[in-house]
Structure 1
Amino acid sequence: MSTPDPAPAPRAEDFAGGRPIAFRNATVITVDSGGVLDNADVLVVGEKIEAVGHHLDVPGDTLEIDATGGILTPGFVDTHRHMWQTALRGYGGDWALTQYFVFYYLQWGQVFRPEDVYAGNLLSALESVDTGVTTTLDWSHGLRNPDYGEAALQAFREIPGRFVLGYGDYLGAPWEWSNSQEFRAFVTKNFNAPNDMLGLQLAFDVPGSAEFPEAGAFQAARDLGLRVTTHAGVWGATTDTGIVQMYDAGFMDEKVTYVHSSTLNEQSYQKIAATGGTVSVATESEQSAGQGYPSSWAIRHYGIPASLSMDTSVWWSADFFSAMRATLSADRSRDHLEAHARNETIVANRLRAEDVVRMATMGGAKALGMEDVIGSITPGKKADLLLIKNDESPAMTPILNPYAHVVYQAGTADVHTVVVNGKVVKYDGKRIGLPLAPIADKVAASVEYVRSQLGEERWFADMHPEIQPDEEIENPYKYTSGDAHVTAASED
């Protein structure tokens, strides 16, 4: 019997009609009990995953995507990104955390307008879906009033991704704004019905002041049925004192995500674990800005579930391949260093590539309370999918260890197809109906405005903070004349 001719490759315009979609012959990382399936198919009907298996029978009008040589994973989930800062992409690339605090919290945060939040969110949202991050929590702590919140939401309504607004205002008191009539009206207006495409959390920090006024914000979250995301274990900013206060007041539960959690003590980690909390690990941020050593190494000893995040594009991008790679490498580095300090040798790496792929998918879903909706390729879940495939990339062949391949070999240039809620938003490496130019124009106008508020001198000075030179250590060794070896200076 002759083999039927393969279905013709779909065109971008073919995806507009809402027809079923089948990925054929993929290496499927289910992040579920199915594990990894070789040469498998995934069928999407409507918003959901209909079936996963081999040689699936599909409806006659199905659009078929040849995934041969590719890896199909759940869409990535970023649980902590300050999306409004994306318009200043890379501006703070040489900052430490101190410069970040001074720039936004003390000097210039008040110059940003609702349209600047909108422009940053729009660019960040586009970048998310373009790189396979199908769900993003916007840790939006620059919302000075609900008009800013409306601007943030408008960006999400224009980009076909899945978003959660972490509403925050670092220039205000969270126990006040979370209980204000205008904020409650904002919640009622925009979140009066369940919607897994657009969610809401409260985003605020607990710096540990003796009065613990943040209790009012926690109570507001409970009154509204909202989850809380908070920066914890940040060197010099949020300490174990805040954890003690939250725990003693009964506000630590499974609905709280602790961002960074890099400098907490054993008791704080145990309290997070015992109350069902999750940690958002932002490895590139923690390595560079100085919150503390990336926390995956510490929290896995206590069994705390982890998700991954990219923090802010004022430093870093939305590249989740980089997030996975950095997390796995940092964890292993710490493991080796701790073993060496005991005069021992690590003979098998404890954290595996599979673990960080899970952090990037189901870990994020759990942190958002959406593990029954997204995070794995499971029939009945929403179809948030990422096909990693690039027939012209040497790094995409051969595929021997799919988990390790996703973490250490693939990159954003290999993002072939992105599906959000059953809708194909990127195919064959190209976004569908999502041009950059109109967004870039809005971002350029925002940058021009912010730059004018700073003035040219401050604009350049804040971008390039002065540093004190390190004191050089005198070298007692130097080359002797006439040969190539090194000798002690005292012998010269």
Structure 2
Amino acid sequence: MTQPSEFAPGRPVLLRGGTVLTLDDQRRTFDHGDVLVTGDRIIAVGPDLAAPADAVVIDATGGIVLPGMIDTHRHMWQTAMRGYGADWTLTQYFVWYYLESGKLFRPQDIHAGNVLAAIEALESGVTTVVDWSHGLQTVDHAEAAVDALRSVPGRFVLAYGNIQAPPAEWTGTPEFREFARRHLTGDDLLGFQLAFDVTGDPAFPERPAFEVARELGVPVTTHAGVWGATNDDGIRLMHDNGFMTPETVYVHAASLSADSYQRIAATGGSISVSTESEQSAGQGYPPTWAIRAHGIPVSLSMDTSVWWSGDLFSAMRTTLGADRSREHLEAHVKSETVTHASLRAEHVVAWATRGGAHAIGRDDLGSLEPGKKADVVLIKNDDSAVSFPLLNPYGHVAFQAQRGDVHTVLVNGKVVKHEHKLVGIDLAAARREAEETIGHLRSELGEEAWRKGMNPDVPETKILDNPYTYTEYRSAATHGKAGLRGNE
């Protein structure tokens, strides 16, 4: 049994004898392979590697070694409310966070959610997370978010957002500019994006925010194709004004037309699919079946733990299920039968690793190759009957593995989880922070409102197809349509 104290800084680490999924261009797999890490880099990958004299050797026999997974869209600040909105619709979510109770979050509550989410990610083998942080009402909230991310030994991208103010307003303040100046340092472990949505208002009130992103040289990530919130009009505005770039990440993209997919494909952007979210909340049917036809790069994300799981194992299996379900449905309508699934386990594992690396512009992540950053995950559980036989490793990752099977995690060459236990992380402190946030929210709301909030009534005046308060624009596609459904 290897002890955490053995993982001294700079000491080589050799993962020995596992099934290695390199996810390189050739998709090489080594049935009994090794991965050698020195410093923050992968030095060698292959069978029977020689171990340096001072290397820590981790027995990966019977396990699967793969690149660290990358989540390209997670509202980390909401994680202290894990499971609270399990029965919410998207409308309930918009009303609770955007219009009402999201304003109650203090900087310390942002910190609490981010710390808990960051730890949860590492525990699940997710080594990089895009923190879609649209709860940053003030720069103090933003500093709390960054402090939390820096306190956990993972790799993160702060996607700065503020749903309580117009994008043009908060990106234009001196305080935001100073914050960006302080944190746009090229830090290898902390990237930077701007996070805001485009309503489709013909006046294009989001234009100044895009101009700030261009000036700062940072990508934009945006919730596109969300039924009742964003649609093809927003995509056209972005395209016609020259703001669709290869670095742009379109989250969900579940309620878009072929025209919008063609614009995304032509400009080289990528789509972050949150299948659990799209299946349950109502953004639209998980779109991989449609976007695959346009050759658009895909990454995976889990959205928010207010509803769903915080790991990408669930994202992979639900994505396979949704895509295959649609494929069968389309065939049945034509009285045909699907004989071979178009989306395979190998594809979703690649989306969870290489796809995420591509989306965030990190070609040094997402695969196990010499010279790449050493973000590495070992899935191994000798105490589980589900760990054997290991016949199809991609299928095993996508359908059989769970977060509890994550044995070892390295980020930037540092071991942060080993033998199923986190290394050097104060989970008790994270629990205390989260409990303090919940105590604050319950106190502010009152017990009756807190309990009712798990499945709140939505007044007719708040059933709207645009949750953003900075514009009166309502889309002709959904606003005022009959058939709104409430509690039955």
Q: TM-score range by the shorter chain?
A: over 0.9
Give the secondary-structure state (helix, strand or coil) at the position aligned to 1:144: coil
Amino acid at match of 2:94: F
Partner of 1:220: 212
CA distance in 1, matches of 2:188, 2:234: 31
Partner of 1:35: 28
Amino acid at match of 2:77: W
Give the secondary-structure state (helix, strand or coil) at the position aligned to 2:8: helix
Mapping 1:303-452, distance limit 5 Å: 303-370=295-362, 372-452=363-443
CA distance in 2, matches of 1:347, 1:317: 31
Mapping 1:52-67, distance limit 5 Å: 52-67=45-60
Judge conservation of contact 2:9–2:414 (CA < 8 Å) in 1.
no
**Fraction of identical pairs, as percent:** 57
CA distance in 2, matches of 1:246, 1:99: 28
CA distance in 1, matches of 2:441, 2:453: 13
Bigger Cα displacement from structure 2, 172-181 vs 288-297 = 172-181
Q: Shift of residue 456 of structure 1?
A: 1.0
Amino acid at match of 1:97: L
Q: Are the structure 2 counterparts of residues 195 and 17 from structure 1 closer, same or farther at C-alpha, using a change threshold of 3 Å?
A: closer
CA distance in 2, matches of 1:365, 1:34: 16
CA distance in 1, matches of 2:301, 2:429: 27
Partner of 1:484: none
Q: Shift of residue 469 of structure 1?
A: 5.6
Give the secondary-structure state (helix, strand or coil) at the position aligned to 2:101: helix
Give the secondary-structure state (helix, strand or coil) at the position aligned to 1:16: coil
Amino acid at match of 1:388: I
The ranges of structure 1 where at least 4 consecutive aligned residues each deviate by more than 6 angstroms after the TM superposition are none
| Deviation sequence 1:150-182 (CA, Å, 0-9, x none) | 000001111000000000001111112112211
Mapping 1:233-252, distance limit 5 Å: 233-252=225-244
Judge conservation of contact 2:16–2:33 (CA < 8 Å) in 1.
yes
Give the secondary-structure state (helix, strand or coil) at the position aligned to 1:285: helix
| Deviation sequence 1:121-168 (CA, Å, 0-9, x none) | 010011011110000000000101211110000011110000000000
Amino acid at match of 1:140: S
Judge conservation of contact 2:79–2:114 (CA < 8 Å) in 1.
yes
Partner of 1:290: 282
Q: Shift of residue 337 of structure 1?
A: 0.2
CA distance in 2, matches of 1:332, 1:257: 24
CA distance in 2, matches of 1:114, 1:105: 17
| Deviation sequence 1:182-201 (CA, Å, 0-9, x none) | 1110011122x212210110
Q: Are the structure 2 counterparts of residues 468 and 257 from structure 1 closer, same or farther at C-alpha, using a change threshold of 3 Å?
A: closer
TM-score (norm 2): 0.93
Amino acid at match of 1:394: A
Mapping 1:180-259, distance limit 5 Å: 180-191=173-184, 193-259=185-251
Match of 2:87 among 80, 83, 94: 94
CA RMSD of aligned residues (A): 1.0
Match of 2:70 among 66, 70, 77: 77
Bigger Cα displacement from structure 2, 429-438 vs 71-80 = 429-438
Amino acid at match of 1:403: Y
Match of 2:455 among 445, 458, 464: 464
Judge conservation of contact 2:9–2:39 (CA < 8 Å) in 1.
no
| Deviation sequence 1:226-269 (CA, Å, 0-9, x none) | 01100000001101000010000011110100000001001000
Q: Shift of residue 412 of structure 1?
A: 0.9
Amino acid at match of 2:30: L
Amino acid at match of 1:164: V
Partner of 2:128: 135
Q: Shift of residue 282 of structure 1?
A: 0.1
Bigger radius of gyration: 1
Q: Are the structure 2 counterparts of residues 97 and 34 from structure 1 closer, same or farther at C-alpha, using a change threshold of 3 Å?
A: closer
Partner of 1:480: none
Judge conservation of contact 1:134–1:161 (CA < 8 Å) in 2.
yes
Judge conservation of contact 2:378–2:406 (CA < 8 Å) in 1.
yes
Aligned residues: 460
Partner of 2:151: 158
CA distance in 2, matches of 1:435, 1:393: 27
CA distance in 2, matches of 1:410, 1:377: 20
CA distance in 1, matches of 2:61, 2:425: 26
Unmatched runs of 5 consecutive residues or more in structure 2: 458-484
CA distance in 2, matches of 1:151, 1:195: 17
Q: Shift of residue 433 of structure 1?
A: 1.4
Partner of 2:461: none
Bigger Cα displacement from structure 2, 398-407 vs 10-19 = 10-19
Give the secondary-structure state (helix, strand or coil) at the position aligned to 2:7: helix
CA distance in 2, matches of 1:402, 1:469: 43
Partner of 1:168: 161
Partner of 1:103: 96
Give the secondary-structure state (helix, strand or coil) at the position aligned to 2:30: strand
Judge conservation of contact 1:94–1:465 (CA < 8 Å) in 2.
no
Q: Shift of residue 468 of structure 1?
A: 4.8
Q: Are the structure 2 counterparts of residues 251 and 17 from structure 1 closer, same or farther at C-alpha, using a change threshold of 3 Å?
A: closer
Partner of 2:464: none
Give the secondary-structure state (helix, strand or coil) at the position aligned to 1:433: coil
Q: Shift of residue 71 of structure 1?
A: 0.1
Alignment of 1:45 with 2:38, yes or no, is yes
Judge conservation of contact 1:88–1:314 (CA < 8 Å) in 2.
yes
Q: Shift of residue 36 of structure 1?
A: 1.1
Q: Shift of residue 34 of structure 1?
A: 4.8
Judge conservation of contact 1:27–1:38 (CA < 8 Å) in 2.
yes
| Deviation sequence 1:387-427 (CA, Å, 0-9, x none) | 00001111110100010010011111100000000000000
Bigger Cα displacement from structure 2, 115-124 vs 461-470 = 461-470
CA distance in 1, matches of 2:275, 2:337: 24
CA distance in 1, matches of 2:188, 2:199: 31
TM-score (norm 1): 0.92
Give the secondary-structure state (helix, strand or coil) at the position aligned to 1:238: coil
Judge conservation of contact 1:81–1:309 (CA < 8 Å) in 2.
yes
Judge conservation of contact 2:13–2:37 (CA < 8 Å) in 1.
yes
